[in-house]
Amino acid sequence: MLEIKCPYCGKRSQNEFSYGGDATIKRPQLGEEISTEDWDNFVYYRDNPRGKHSELWHHVSGCRQWFKVSRDTATHEIFDTCKMNEDFNV
Amino acid sequence: MSNSFRTTNSTGLINKDKKINFTFNGTIYHGYEGDTLASALIANGVHLVGRSFKYHRPRGFLGVGVEEPNAMVQLHDGNKSEPNIIATEVELVEGLKAKSQNCWPSVQFDIGEINNVLNRFFPAGFYYKTFMWPKSFWMKIYEPFIRKAAGMGKAPLLPDPDRYEHNYEHCDVLVVGSGPSGLASALAAAKNGARVILAEDKPNFGGSLLTDEVTIGNMSGKEWASDTISQLKSMPNVILKKRSQVFGYYDHNMTVMIERVSDHIENPSKYTPRQRLHYIRAGEVIVSTGSIERPISFGNNDRPGIVLASAAKEYMKVYETLVGKKPIIFTNNDTAYSTALEFIKNDIEPIIVDTRDSSNGELVKEVQQKGISIKFNSGIADTKGHLKINSAIIGKLDSSKESFILEETVECDCICMSGGWTPTVHLSSQAGNKLKFNDDIDAFVPDKKRQKETAIGAANGSFTLNQSLAEGFQVGFDLSNKFTDQNNPTNSPNSNEPSYEKHEKLWCMPLPSGKKPKRFIDFQNDVAVSDVELAIREGFRSIEHVKRYTTLGMAGDQGKTSNLNGLQYVSKIEKKIVPEVGHTTFRPPYTPVTIGAIVGREVGNHYLPTRKSPIHTWHEENNAVFVAAGLWQRPRYYPRGSEDMNTAVNREAANVRKNVGICDVTTLGKIDIKGPDAPEFLNRVYTNAWLKLPVGKARYGVMLREDGMVFDDGTTSRLSENHFHMTTTTAQAANVLSHLEYYLQVVWPDLDVNVLSTTEQWSGIAVAGPKSRDLLSKLFPDVDMSNEGLPFMGLVDSSIDGIKARIYRISFSGELAYEVNVESNYGLYMWKKIMEVGQSFDIQPYGTEALSTLRIEMGHVAGAELDGRTIPFDVGLNSMVSQKKDFIGKRSLSKDAFTESDRQTIVGLVPLDKKTKIPEGSHIIEDNSAVAPIPKLGHVSSSCWSVEYNNPFSIAIIKDGKNKIGKNLYAVSPLKDISIPVEVVSSHYVDPEGSRVRS
Ligand SMILES: [Zn+2]
């Protein structure tokens, strides 16, 4: 079980959180003309890197904030966590 | 034969004043307080405890602790019965019952032993090839045979009566194992102010100090251990846990430990759990798990009475028990000589067989000084004795040590063997440590760590006491310094132990001349040298493949005694050095763990809270039958007298259509939405338009996921300019809130909107049916309930008896209907009030079943249709989709597959006989007599008995549904062998114009 540092609450066990996928995905603008390929890339296609991955987590059983986690998908090492409007330090 | 194998000394840890009676295979024996089941049986001369896994060979004890591969027994009976328990780990309690497993009819005479004779059918990989052909034999012959012949103990069929608990702990430093290095590190870390947990698997702290003749400072090793424990006990920052095995090392320094709390207590309090599972999140973990002695492979090295030398020593020193009175010590190193000396202390002269040419170790000299001659350059070739060893064939090794030159038969009643020592690296390996091979000790030791884990002492390959203590004190101090600022190191005391000469790299004896006895490597999995040879001959090269093909090092044992010997043998055949062969992965749990402990208190209702509406007590008093909706308990129906469910449901639903019904809808999700951008936010979340919804009006809304699938639906109303009240389905309430938070926090943080769950703040009561207006007019005389005063989708605030109520004119049943919302605490009051006034209108409560019937008849979609695979078009919600604005998931709706005209869409189905109910989940096909595979047109999502038309009615989602209306198809349920001819009709079966809700 991972130990994740919520930027608002501090370190908590993984079972308080839910995973929210790739944090680098940007939703297309509303009303934007967009090709099917670009839309599919947004909806379905995700990189599956071995190593550093920046991802979203939701502190569901806590402060209910979404935030960013930089995690190694192979070792589970967490390099940094930050609020949505911040950038990772490492 | 009672306890005739006890020693006469009393220097051990058993209490000979307290006798304990127990039963093994139906015979009553006694042992003493402090005994294990193993030591007590050995003291009674019992070595035969089980039959081996594949060949059903008679097996006895090999070890004295967790390393024991053979002595697995079935404990207790009835609902306390427990299989596969290692007898060396069971503390004796009065009345304990144990029996052998994997044998029939008895351990002395076992029919499965024929496998041993037919062992050509059970070579390595026998699962994969012997039983593969002919195929038809598998189910009838091979499988039942394997099930009966192989297999371990029997799982109990009754519920476990014991209680198990879970505990979460945090500490700075967790020390696993309380031998010299573990004690030293715990003491150093604790004295430096760190929060320390020290875990010891055995009932006594001290590890090897309990059996080794050493001195530390001016004390014996044993005294130093007990002195250190007293010091630790007195410190408030230390938790000491014995009978506690750390069996798993997971991510982020989460370890899991099983504590045997009351297994050793005769009559534990009913408030004491049997076992406790500790989840320990440690800042640093010190792995001081010691080492395990390796066996030697030689002919028939698995007979009862053949034990590890260290085990024989511990039985003598700790349990005052002799494994035999005519021992042979067989070794490739010096440590086994301490076992020889222990026998000599008990006036027993062992025969010593040493593979080496010579040794000048202190213990060897001491043995020689006692006048015992040593057979150097010799080995054991074979053994005899069916149910217990009675003799060994000892051979002189030739110069290459590849064969024997002289062989002699020697009588004995036990062999104590030592092939050297293997550091217990399981936890380090589980933690992700890349092990390295240490040539000096011929074993793997931890190297590159991935987590905050440090191995010390024997687990780190440091086999001398001096080194172990030095590492312990140093590492304990260094690691604790990360957590405290006391900088207070503890010095390592002087210590003294005998010097040892090096072991010989020889773990497998040559075969005796003219014979091919089995030489076992892995006792638990019955893997012999010949199996490894076969696997390699058949082309298995990777050690992981050899492991799986031969089953070497698998299962509960995890290769504790066999791993290194297996690797050594593979490397010998392959002519590679061991590090090139590599090692297999060690997996948790290190020792078997009861399922009960893993489950803990998550039994029955799984420790989940039950959510009850404020009106729950009324439902109970009025004979409601409840159904679980997530955590909620909802009334399913309210039977009257002897009514069955169908009768009650039909009555309740019909009464809504005819008079008026009342339904508790408190469980619907409710979300309060506030902020200047709230209308814009809803406009993006829902498929329809929201900007122009007037204050005081409600609107039905549908929300999609980005992939275009319908996510949820509900009614949302505008309470003021920037304040909305959203309702969701009961099932999706939590997910919708997360969804909204995601868009507000991640995607559109610029929107100034707040969302908050208010599900539990409001109690909701649906009042539905043609008489609902009259009822509510009477209850709220001040409110204009007319169609103009409170039109469909309108809302109004009112009150009775000073209780504020919000009345929505919304309908799920398709009838003229309202929903009265009050603060939760007044839910019951309002419900009773409505019931009271409703008497003159023939009001009846209805449950979730009638609620379903009413919505199905109307063709209203719910969870069964919104199953994550349907877009609005599929379920008749196209009119809800705005063409003018963008919203979540809209772009997906214009994708090719989503615009095909013959998509599966919603329809109604009526059986042609108007009698047969169509099971939900049935497949819809066109031709009943076609040959399989028959193309499937779709499936039945919801079924009910239509109270309007008095015949069955179902909603289905079928290919090109709109164009199938009027056609006859079949609903088939192959599992139930049902095929029902049906007519396709509109899904809006009742009041398709929707005139009733607007009346
Ligand atoms: Zn938080």
pTM beyond 0.80: yes
Reply yes or no on whether the pLDDT at B128 is more than 90.
Answer: no
Q: Give the number of domains in chain B.
A: 7
B935: number of Cβ within 10 Å: 10
Asked whether residue A39 is domain-assigned, the answer is no
CA of B703 to the centre of ligand 1 (A): 27
What number is the average pLDDT over the span B925-938?
Answer: 90
CATH of the domain at B112: 3.10.20.440
Asked whether residue B93 falls in the same domain as residue B24, the answer is: yes
B432·A75 Cβ contact <8 A: yes
B749·A42 Cβ contact <8 A: no
Reply yes or no on whether the pLDDT at B886 is more than 90.
Answer: yes
Residues spanned by the domain of A56? 1-25+47-90
CATH of the domain at B585: 1.10.10.1100
Q: Is B99 within 8 Å of B73 (Cβ atoms)?
A: yes
Reply yes or no on whether the pLDDT at B853 is more than 70.
Answer: yes
Count interface pairs A-B at CB distance under 8 A.
Answer: 55
Whether B912 and chain A come into contact, CB under 8 Å, resolves to no
pLDDT (0 to 100) of residue B608: 86
Select from B831, B813, B805, B769 the least CA-distant residue to B619: B831
Select from A1, A20, A75 the Cβ nearest to the Cβ of B450: A75
Whether A30 and chain B come into contact, CB under 8 Å, resolves to yes
Token code pair at residue B277: 């599972």
Select from A5, A25, A28, A29 the least CA-distant residue to A17: A5
Reply yes or no on whether the pLDDT at B363 is more than 90.
Answer: yes
Q: Sorting pLDDT into bands at 50, 70 and 90, what band is B546? A: confident
Asked whether residue B860 falls in the same domain as residue B713, the answer is: no
Task: Quick: pLDDT tens for B267-312.
Answer: 999 899 999 999 999 999 999 999 999 999 999 999 999 999 999 9
Asked whether residue B200 falls in the same domain as residue B223, the answer is: yes
Asked whether residue B861 falls in the same domain as residue B907, the answer is: no
Asked whether residue B21 falls in the same domain as residue B79, the answer is: yes
Q: Is B310 within 8 Å of B293 (Cβ atoms)?
A: yes
The fraction of chain B above a pLDDT of 70, given in percent, is 95
Select from A4, A6, A23, A2 the least CA-distant residue to A62: A6
Locate the chain B residue with the closest alpha carbon to A84: B746
pLDDT (0 to 100) of residue B606: 83
CATH of the domain at B231: 3.50.50.60
Reply yes or no on whether the pLDDT at B142 is more than 90.
Answer: no
C-alpha separations of B848 from B634, B635, B651, B860, B932 in Å: 7, 6, 13, 14, 38
Q: Are strands B723-728 and B795-800 parallel, antiparallel or unpaired?
A: unpaired
Asked whether residue B586 falls in the same domain as residue B639, the answer is: no
Task: Quick: pLDDT tens for B619-667.
Answer: 999 999 999 999 999 999 999 999 999 999 999 999 999 999 999 999 9
Asked whether residue B655 falls in the same domain as residue B689, the answer is: no
Asked whether residue A60 is domain-assigned, the answer is yes
Task: Give the integer Cα–Cα distance in Å for B761 and B739.
Answer: 21
C-alpha separations of B661 from B189, B656, B834 in Å: 70, 5, 10
Task: Give the integer Cα–Cα distance in Å for A28 and A48.
Answer: 21
Task: Give the integer Cα–Cα distance in Å for B452 and A75.
Answer: 13
Reply yes or no on whether the pLDDT at B132 is more than 60.
Answer: no
pLDDT (0 to 100) of residue B106: 73
B891·A30 Cβ contact <8 A: no
Residues of A whose CB is below 8 A from B432: 75
Residue B256, beta-bridge partner list = B248, B279
Asked whether residue B280 falls in the same domain as residue B332, the answer is: no
Q: Give the number of domains in chain A.
A: 1
Task: Give the integer Cα–Cα distance in Å for B417 and B324.
Answer: 13
On average, the pLDDT of chain B sits at 93
Task: Quick: pLDDT tens for B425-436.
Answer: 999 999 999 999
B254·A1 Cβ contact <8 A: yes
Asked whether residue B738 is domain-assigned, the answer is yes
A66·B432 Cβ contact <8 A: no
pLDDT (0 to 100) of residue B558: 83
Task: Quick: pLDDT tens for B458-494.
Answer: 999 999 999 999 999 999 999 999 999 999 999 999 9
Residue B945, beta-bridge partner list = B952
CATH of the domain at B698: 3.30.70.1400
Higher pLDDT, B255 or B107: B255
Locate the chain B residue with the closest alpha carbon to A45: B707
pLDDT (0 to 100) of residue B605: 82
3-state DSSP call for residue A22? Answer: strand
Residues of A whose CB is below 8 A from B256: none
Task: Give the integer Cα–Cα distance in Å for B763 and B846.
Answer: 16
Q: Sorting pLDDT into bands at 50, 70 and 90, what band is B884? A: very high
Asked whether residue B911 falls in the same domain as residue B950, the answer is: yes
CATH of the domain at B788: 3.30.1360.120
Select from B279, B745, B896 the Cβ nearest to the Cβ of A84: B745
What number is the average pLDDT over the span B76-93?
Answer: 92
Asked whether residue B277 is domain-assigned, the answer is yes
CA B77 to chain centre: 24
* Interface with A, mutate which of B169, B250, B251 (most A CBs under 10 A): B251
pLDDT (0 to 100) of residue B219: 97
CA of A13 to the centre of ligand 1 (A): 11
Reply yes or no on whether the pLDDT at B130 is more than 60.
Answer: no
Residue numbers of chain A with a pLDDT score lower than 70: none
* Interface with A, mutate which of B736, B745, B885 (most A CBs under 10 A): B745
The backbone region for B8, taken as left when phi is positive above 0, alpha when psi lies in -120 to 50, beta otherwise, is alpha
A66·B892 Cβ contact <8 A: no
Whether A39 and chain B come into contact, CB under 8 Å, resolves to yes
pLDDT (0 to 100) of residue B755: 98
What number is the average pLDDT over the span B567-573?
Answer: 88
A84·B742 Cβ contact <8 A: no
Maximum average pLDDT range among B37-41, B105-109, B122-126? B37-41
Whether A75 and chain B come into contact, CB under 8 Å, resolves to yes
Reply yes or no on whether the pLDDT at B147 is more than 70.
Answer: no
CA of A82 to the centre of ligand 1 (A): 11
Q: Which of B138-142, B167-171, B781-785 has the lowest mean pLDDT?
A: B138-142
Q: What is the residue-wise DSSP string for B352-382?
A: EEESSS----HHHHHHHHTT--EETTEEEEE
What number is the average pLDDT over the span B724-738?
Answer: 96
Asked whether residue B187 falls in the same domain as residue B274, the answer is: yes
Q: Chain B closest CA to A78's CA: distance in Å?
A: 9
Residues of B whose CB is below 8 A from A20: 742, 746
3-class DSSP string for B404-444: EEEEEEEECCEEEEECCEEECCHHHHHCCCEEEEECCCCEE
Buried b (16+ CB within 10 A) or exposed e, B886-925: ebbbbbbbebeebeeeebbbbbbbbbeeeeebbbbebbbb
Asked whether residue B332 is domain-assigned, the answer is yes
CATH of the domain at A82: 3.30.2270.10
Asked whether residue B339 falls in the same domain as residue B302, the answer is: yes
* Interface with A, mutate which of B448, B672, B891 (most A CBs under 10 A): B891
Task: Quick: pLDDT tens for B596-631.
Answer: 999 999 988 888 899 999 999 999 999 999 999 999
Task: Give the integer Cα–Cα distance in Å for B154 and B167.
Answer: 29
Task: Quick: pLDDT tens for B388-404.
Answer: 999 999 999 999 999 99
Reply yes or no on whether the pLDDT at B199 is more than 90.
Answer: yes
Q: Are strands B291-293 and B275-287 parallel, antiparallel or unpaired?
A: unpaired
Asked whether residue B511 is domain-assigned, the answer is no
Asked whether residue A75 is domain-assigned, the answer is yes
Residues spanned by the domain of B817? 609-667+759-868
pLDDT (0 to 100) of residue B149: 52
Asked whether residue A40 is domain-assigned, the answer is no
Burial of B677 (0-12, 13-18, 19+ CB in 10 A): middle
Reply yes or no on whether the pLDDT at B745 is more than 90.
Answer: yes
Residues of B whose CB is below 8 A from A71: none
CA of B429 to the centre of ligand 1 (A): 33
Q: Is B418 within 8 Å of B380 (Cβ atoms)?
A: no
Asked whether residue B663 falls in the same domain as residue B681, the answer is: no
Task: Give the integer Cα–Cα distance in Å for B530 and B507.
Answer: 14
Task: Show the DSSP H helices in B704-786 as ranges.
Answer: 733-742, 772-779
A40 membership: H or E segment, kind and range = helix A36-43
